[in-house]
Amino acid sequence: MAETRALPRAWNARLWLSGGWLLLILLAAVFAPLVSPQDPLAQDLLYERLPPFWMQGAEPGFWLGTDSLGRDLFSRIIYGGRIAFSVAFAAATAACLVGSALGLIAGYYRGWADRIVSRIVDIWMAFPPVLFAILLVAVLGTGLTSVIVAIAVIDWTRFCRVVRAEAMSQSRMDYVENARIAGFGRFDIMLREVLPNVLPSIVALLSLEMGIAVIVEAILSFVNLSISTDDPTWGGIIAEGRLSIHQAWWVLVFPLVTLFLTVLSFSQFGEGLKARFDPVLR
């Protein structure tokens, strides 16, 4: 009994901690003009590579220091969160809708629908995802829309495979057979009976996909294939910090830590939601 009670408490703590971090970053990104102490694009070479506030040589108003062009690092990380969350929500939602719909149809109806969808997924997953994303962005051109489309086009297969397996498993359950006996149509059963029981897995995967989308956007911006403007991105800040790691380590470390905690929180938040709402785990 002790083990069965400890598991929900552990997942509940992960859920609140990860959700709290994501909410903090999201609020900071939404209210960036009010939260950020400086203009993230303002350059002043007199303030180049200032250290964080607790180190000797720091200047008031530059909490996490500045980069090689004198731009405030804290403000740039906050505004970079806007790009990261925009890509995460838009790309993950698009991939979820397409992949989940196809996976649900393939897993429940099976037959020719399953064969067609499965072959498309196999072909799609033969391409390395990151290289495929870089190729798509290179073809579509740089920009936020291109990054979102590239991630959605690549990662819908992840939802499709998981939802297909879950739908196939749920369709064998007794409650599905009881619904058939009660006279419900196949489409109604899929939406009213199978889909609600697959939703916990979809929610967990959606949260995980948001973290993956943040990573992919950071990689694309690291190689200068994300947005084409001077707007700060976490990957772009990391690329800049890599060049001055020996002179100003904070320019590399702080955006890396922010990226790591955000991706980890997306993953833990999704697993926490699944543990909380999945009737089998409960």
pLDDT digits (tens, 9 = 90+) for 207-242: 989 999 999 889 888 888 777 667 899 999 999 898
241: tokens are: 């910090």
What is the per-residue pLDDT for 3?
Answer: 43
β-sheet bridge partners, residue 66: 72
What is the per-residue pLDDT for 5?
Answer: 47
Asked whether 197 and 114 are in contact (CB, 8 A), the reply is no
What is the pLDDT averaged over residues 259-281? Answer: 80
Q: What percent of the chain has pLDDT over 70?
A: 93
Burial of 95 by CB count in 10 Å (0-12 exposed, 13-18 middle, 19+ buried)?
buried
**Residue 41 resides in a domain:** no
CATH number at residue 213: 1.10.3720.10
**Residue 156 resides in a domain:** yes
13: tokens are: 């703590």
pTM of the model as a whole:
0.86
Range of the domain at 188: 81-277
**Residue 165 resides in a domain:** yes
Cα dihedral across residues 228, 233, 239, 244: positive or negative = positive
**Residue 43 resides in a domain:** no
How far apart, in Å, are the Cα atoms of 90 and each of 114, 206, 220, 224? 27, 11, 16, 20
What is the per-residue pLDDT for 101?
Answer: 93
pLDDT in tens, 50-73: 999 888 888 888 999 999 888 999
Measured in whole angstroms, how far is the alpha carbon of residue 79 from the centre of its chain? 17
Distance CA 32, CA 25 (A): 10
Number of domains in the chain: 1
Is the pLDDT score of 183 beyond 80? no
71: tokens are: 């731009």
**Residue 164 resides in a domain:** yes
**Residue 30 resides in a domain:** no
**Residue 74 resides in a domain:** no
